[in-house]
């Protein structure tokens, strides 16, 4: 299985972060219960306190069209073909980039987008967890606006036991993905780790089994060290 989209030999020409004259684009990834939402809220407050303009978004969703797709997919009963799933997520993403993310960041270096899930979710969920190669999924992103890479992606890494325990503690009804078997979640976690290894220049792995404060300290330190903010 390839994680570097080896079929796209011109990867670094096709996929780029936004120029320095634009704002910063940060995405968050992880399996269910990894604490993305909590960390995004904390980072939003901290960045706003530093005088930055922050826009928090989630995928799928964030636009009227994306929210409709979100409803359609998360309430779907029978498993869809992974390419059907991918098509829906990619459609929601393209619209989110065009309507919200790119206009907000364009020419505004003090604007920051914090995005709960982005293309690595498609690679991990529709690719690795379903036992499918990721190259066709990268290929779906090779044209604008989908070829935009975040400046930094945080992968909040937890093990499947912690994920299941946190989900049980929440006690919510399981959605389309949460209802999958344990081996799906295991492959998902492994897929994310492999992606983080293959794209270590972009993806920062944080051990998210730890206390919220420690995770947040790591995120903040990584952003400073990487000169993202
Ligand atoms: P959500 O309730 O937002 O889950 P979470 O809080 O864990 O982010 O539902 C989004 C679900 O959609 C989540 O299970 C991951 C899945 N997903 C994909 O399978 N592929 C994708 O490209 C994206 C963006 C999400």
Q: Residues near 163 by Cβ (< 8 Å), separated by ≥ 6?
A: 31, 32, 33, 34, 185, 189
Residue 189 has pLDDT above 80, yes or no: yes
Pocket of ligand 1 (CB under 6 A): 32, 58-60, 74, 89, 116-117, 121-122, 125-126, 175, 177
Task: Report the range of poorest mean pLDDT among 7-16, 89-98, 202-211.
Answer: 7-16
Q: Report the pLDDT value the prediction gives residue 5, as an integer from 0 to 100.
A: 55
Q: Which atom of ligand 1 is nearest to the CA of 119?
A: 22
pLDDT for the residue numbered 227? 87
Distance CA 152, CA 203 (A): 6
Residue 205 clears pLDDT 70, i.e. is over it: yes
| Residue 89 exposure: Cα atoms within 13 Å on the Cβ side | 25
pLDDT (tens digit, 9 = 90+) per residue, 37-66?
A: 999 999 999 999 999 999 999 999 999 999
Quote the percentage of the chain above a pLDDT of 90.
Answer: 84
Pocket test for ligand 1, best of 121, 129, 154, 172 (most atoms within 8 A of CB): 121
Domains of the chain (ranges; CATH) run 11-225 (3.40.50.300)
1, pLDDT greater than 70: no
Other Cβ atoms closer than 10 A to 224: 10
Read off the pLDDT of residues 95-149 as tens digits, 9 standing for 90 and up. Answer: 999 999 999 999 999 999 999 999 999 999 999 999 999 999 999 999 999 999 9
- Percent of the chain residues past pLDDT 70, beyond the cut: 97
Spatial separation of the C-alpha atoms in residues 126 and 165, rounded to whole Å: 24
Q: 84: CA distance to ligand 1 center in Å?
A: 15
Region label for 218, one of left (φ > 0), alpha (ψ between -120 and 50) or beta (otherwise): alpha
Q: Is 0.75 topped by the overall pTM?
A: yes
Q: What is the pLDDT of residues 163-182, one digit of tens each?
A: 999 988 988 788 888 888 89
């Amino acid at each position: 299985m390839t994680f570097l989209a080896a079929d796209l030999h011109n990867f670094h020409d096709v996929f780029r972060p936004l120029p320095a004259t634009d704002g910063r684009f940060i995405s968050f990834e992880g399996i269910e219960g990894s604490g993305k939402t909590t960390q995004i809220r904390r980072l939003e407050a901290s960045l706003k306190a530093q005088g930055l303009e922050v826009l928090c978004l989630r995928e799928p969703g964030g636009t009227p069209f994306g929210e409709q797709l979100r409803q359609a997919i998360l309430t779907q009963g029978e498993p869809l073909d992974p390419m059907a799933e991918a098509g829906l997520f990619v459609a929601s993403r393209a619209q989110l980039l065009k309507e919200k993310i790119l206009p907000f960041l364009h020419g505004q270096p003090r604007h920051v987008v914090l995005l709960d899930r982005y293309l690595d979710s498609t690679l991990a969920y529709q690719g690795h967890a379903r036992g499918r190669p990721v190259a066709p999924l990268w290929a779906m992103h090779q044209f604008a606006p989908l070829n935009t890479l975040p400046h930094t992606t945080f992968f909040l890494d937890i093990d499947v036991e912690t994920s299941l325990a946190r989900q049980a503690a929440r006690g919510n009804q399981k959605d389309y993905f949460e209802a999958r078997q344990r081996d799906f979640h295991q492959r998902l976690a492994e897929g994310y780790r492999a992606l983080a290894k293959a794209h270590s220049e972009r993806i920062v792995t944080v051990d998210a089994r730890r206390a919220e404060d420690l995770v947040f300290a790591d995120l903040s330190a990584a952003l400073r060290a990487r000169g993202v903010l």
